[in-house]
Structure 1
């Protein structure tokens, strides 16, 4: 990386002293770090911030399945290889029984978390979602937890049902929903969304919906995807907006960043390097000093994601399915022990982080 400073920041040591003192790194300092700091310097600062929340050498993981309940979507994002337009060949909607079979397989593989991710399907009423989620609660009780929808899907569902975000969140909560995750954020700038997902919601609306989710007593997360054509300014704006929202609400349980898979998409392009991803992960840990859990993406980086534990991450998941990223080129391995061995080789001892209340209780006995 170039060592030519582009702001008023005079040295790495100046920023390192702030971090060591527990003071906040600001946007121009984050810019300087990206443009000037070595990998080792970024790792060292990320380790300091990580150490405020986690013991050195410790990390956690989950076993999960992302269930794509429908691929019918009218958003037409140019970075998606998964969707089919209404009436287009290959479109589908899963029945409850099909979802249950996938959940049964998840439990057999030792997982206790499912995440639902589909699309903006105009043919699915609110009752489809409420019946599905209530059915999961009735069938599995506390043996299994699920992330119901992403924020982007939640927003579309609320608008399609002509409900406020508050009312939609209340309806889903009554159906047994506890989590609506931060998916659909990609890069949270209006310019990015105008370029690539013009039929999605604005950044302002995204955070309005996320605030309504928290106000309803539901839980949520922060996400980010890099490697499109976003600028450094856009990446920093996304991190700044996320940190500000966490300052205001304290409601973000974790931050997960993954990389854009360009294969078979309209946008196309060349996948960014793992090293660029790791540097961004470190910068995220340094900048997001108010989010304890920073997660690295095995789904998009495979075992190379475990190196992210040296760049500030403390958590990861072992996925068994996600059609959205698999359609764009992601590969999934069910050899969990082999993947976990990479963490151990790096000096970390991974501990299963159970999410389902029943699994948590069993782990304690």
Structure 2
């Protein structure tokens, strides 16, 4: 009886904070993760969500991740996609091949492309600038594109021997408007030492993201869970993200997805959707300064839509992403079925046009 009363009192104290808009701290988040029910987390996450969005509203996009190359020297042990330079099966897409993928995206009703390819030492900065300038010239505002991830941006600047502001200026002049928070995975130095020792440090990651914001480009926050990270590491990631948003206000959204372990060096067992949803709710409660929380259809399929009950307000319908597909993700092009599921949950999905939009 005494323990139950203590739990009720602790939950009430945290709920009172959330109701009043008082920020929770890592200890509160740790308590919620260990003790709160799914129903409790749904309720608290929805309280924060509803400060930014109408309770039954949600938005979505149709998008394509264009993996322009699979040649990469980062050698992250959680990646099933990369080929080392000179290895059989390595490729680089031509502009015409990229255009064909973008034309297909438009034909399917989408208007957002995200580029992702890793650290290819054979590609100079001019490859990217020429590609992005050509896309902007050919498609104008009919398509928007997430040009690179933070990790790729760091590699390109380093490879071109440019400062981060100089590299950001070059890309902006080529028509780039977005460089996303990809390449974050879990933002602790220990995690990177265990799994991606040739990738950039957490400090360098945020230095690059700050340079992107200061250049007038847009960016996002991302997170991947389900490796071997601890709860403390997850909370450190959220704390760093919230602090960065406090300092810059530059993060348009936060997207979390789950690690797909199949055919990777690290291997392992994929975490459950139930764990993913609980983390999504905790993220929504913790990241009280980021307006848009996105749930991952790419890694959770239609079950991702349950994330709308756990604090998310947005999702994308992907038509391709070789990186996660190589590691076991499956893509469902039956968009109507997925959208119907959102409706069955009591939400009204509305297409969110990124192309030509200021946000």
TM-score range, shorter chain: over 0.9
In the alignment, what sits opposite 1:63?
Answer: 62
Contact 1:4/1:36 (8 A) holds in 2? no
Q: Which residue of 2 aligns with 1:95?
A: 94
Q: Show the counterpart of 2:299.
A: 300
Offset of 1:11 from its aligned partner? Answer: 1.1
TM-align CA RMSD: 1.5
Q: Distance in 1 between matches of 2:22 and 2:340?
A: 35
Structure 1 Cα separation of the partners of residues 8 and 69 of structure 2: 49
What residue in structure 1 maps to residue 196 of structure 2? 197
Aligned to 1:163: 162
> In structure 2, do the counterparts of structure 1 residues 230 and 135 end up closer, same or farther at CA, with 3 Å as the change threshold?
same
Distance 1:5 1:116, change over 3 A: farther
| Distance change >3 Å, CA 342–CA 72, structure 1 → 2 | same
Compute the displacement of 1:10 (Å).
Answer: 5.2
Question: Which residue is equivalent to 1:22?
Answer: 21
**Shift of the alpha carbon at 1:4?**
8.8
Q: Distance in 2 between matches of 1:216 and 1:269?
A: 40
**Whole-Å Cα distance in 2 between the matches of residues 119 and 297 of structure 1?**
21
| Native 8 Å contact 1:9 1:29 kept in 2 | no
Q: Which digits, 9 at most, give the CA deviation of each residue in 1:197-227, with x for residues without a partner?
A: 0000000000000000001000000000000
Partner of 2:257: 258
Deviation readout 1:153-179 (Å, 9 max, x if unpaired): 000000000001100000000000000
Distance of 1:270 and 1:116 partners within structure 2: 28
- CA–CA distance in 2 between the matches of 1:107 and 1:268? 36
Query: For residues 331 and 162 of structure 1, what CA distance do their matches in structure 2 show?
Result: 38
TM-score (norm. length: structure 2):
0.97
> In 2, Cα distance between the equivalents of 1:54 and 1:238?
24
Aligned residues: 356
For residues 164-197 of structure 1, the C-alpha deviation after alignment (integer angstroms, 9 at most, x for no partner) is 1100000000000000000000000000000000
Residues 87-236 of structure 1: pairs in structure 2 closer than 5 A: 87-236=86-235
Structure 1 residues 160 and 280, CA gap change in structure 2 (3 angstroms): same
Instruction: Give the 3-state SS of the residue equivalent to 1:51 in structure 2.
Output: helix
Deviations 1:233-264 (A, max 9, x none): 00000000000000000000000000000000
Q: Deviations over 1:82-138 (max 9, x none)?
A: 000000000000000000000000000000000000010000000000000000001
Q: 5+ residue gaps in structure 1?
A: none
In 1, the alpha carbon distance for the partners of 2:50 and 2:102 equals 35
Match of 2:242 in 1: 243
Which runs of 4 or more aligned residues in structure 1 lie more than 4 Å from their structure 2 counterparts after TM superposition?
3-6
1:33 aligned partner:
32
1:344 alignment counterpart: 343
Q: Is residue 112–residue 143 contact of structure 1 (8 Å, CA) maintained in 2?
A: yes
* Cα distance in structure 2, aligned partners of 1:200 and 1:183: 12
- Relative to structure 1, the CA distance from residue 308 to residue 84 in structure 2 (aligned partners, 3 Å threshold; closer, same or farther) is same
Structure 2: gaps (5+ residues): none
Task: Tell whether the 8 Å contact from 1:147 to 1:178 is kept in structure 2 after alignment.
Answer: yes
TM-score normalised according to structure 1 size: 0.96
> Aligned to 1:11, what secondary structure does the other structure show?
helix
Task: Give the CA deviation at 1:57.
Answer: 0.7
Map residues 279-294 of structure 1 onto 2, 5 A cutoff: 279-294=278-293
